Structure 1
Amino acid sequence: MAKALKVRNVITDERVVPADETALGKMAHGLGTESSLVQMRLAGKCTFTAKHGAQLGWKPQFPPEHIFEAADDEVELILQTLHSDASSGDKPWYKKE
């Protein structure tokens, strides 16, 4: 995801690193919570697995690694959707080269 965002000049650095206190503070403000609760609010404690679907006869359309193959297309779609959302105004950060 970071590589796809960097290619589109949404971010300047594709490295993915743990959030520092400043970033946690900004995320906490956006989430309306305290910094110490950001990780829980973002990640939660999801225990969903696909094994239960298989027990019901469900078969996945794509293998798990498909998300990595489709990441660039997904980022493009999301940014186009955000860019075309007239109610949220112009997105000057979206500059695909």
Structure 2
Amino acid sequence: MDPERLLLIVEDDAAFARTLGRSFERRGYGVVHAANLDAMEALLETHSPTHAVVDLKLSDNSSGLACVQLLHQHDPAMLIVVLTGFASINTAVEAIKLGASQY
């Protein structure tokens, strides 16, 4: 795993996370996956991702925005992209304010 290109995927849909992960692995990224905020926090204890893709709505009611905020606090230089099927101007603005690079 290239420590300079480690992608964290925070996504509750395991099949989508695997598909997305494979796409990034083909481009030379190492990939780790967390299904919710708690799993993400555990991964951050042992991994230092350089990039993150975060689902806005997670099935266990974890907030994707809480994930973004924690990731930005963990590493302000991390590139964070928020994915959602429930886009709104308000959540886009909030995600960017909390540290997301793209929404």
TM over 0.5: no
Q: Which has the larger radius of gyration?
A: 1
Greater share of strand:
2
The bucket for the TM-score relative to the shorter chain is under 0.3
